[in-house]
Amino acid sequence: MDLSTRLKHIIVDVPDFPKPGILFKDITPIFDDPKTCALITQHIVETFPDIDAIAGIESRGFFWGMLVAQVLEIPFIPIRKAGKLPRPTLSQSYALEYGTATLEIHQDTIQPGTNVLIHDDLLATGGTAFAAAQLVNQVGHCVGFSFLVELAFLEGRQRLEEFTIPVDAIAIY
């Protein structure tokens, strides 16, 4: 069974979470399967072998972002919601359906010219990933996006096309 099919068998659909009408893709059952965790890590490493750092979007982007950083022996950069990092930060605000949100990284975490892969668990509308790339590009170069799951009907991949860099998702719904 290929990795995409494997993930689709493991990920659990949770209806009406976090609010009515939403079908939530729960990736936490993957953690019960060390082999699948290793295959995900291997997939990302093989898809993006020539990166200088990997940035994981809070919080589920931290899981495989950190594992890939360990395997490739490169820095891991946490991208966090505003106010969560203790030292001086760079920030990028972006529009939500109702209001705005802000992402931050430490000012000194990316050296100029660093090639950075952005990783998160899920690509939906692409707004958060788009803002993360803008944030990374303030100092370094976003060279790709990696996701476990893509909700293709929300057209997030199209939103990221502006960056003209690879977008990889393992399980596409």
> What DSSP string describes 48-77?
S-S-SEEEEETTTHHHHHHHHHHHHT--EE
Task: Look up the pTM and report it.
Answer: 0.95
Judged by DSSP in three states, 15 sits in strand
Q: Using 50, 70 and 90 to split pLDDT, how confident is the model at 99?
A: confident
- pLDDT tens-place string over residues 17-74: 999 999 999 999 999 999 999 999 999 999 999 999 999 999 999 999 999 999 999 9
> Which residues are the active-site residues?
60, 97
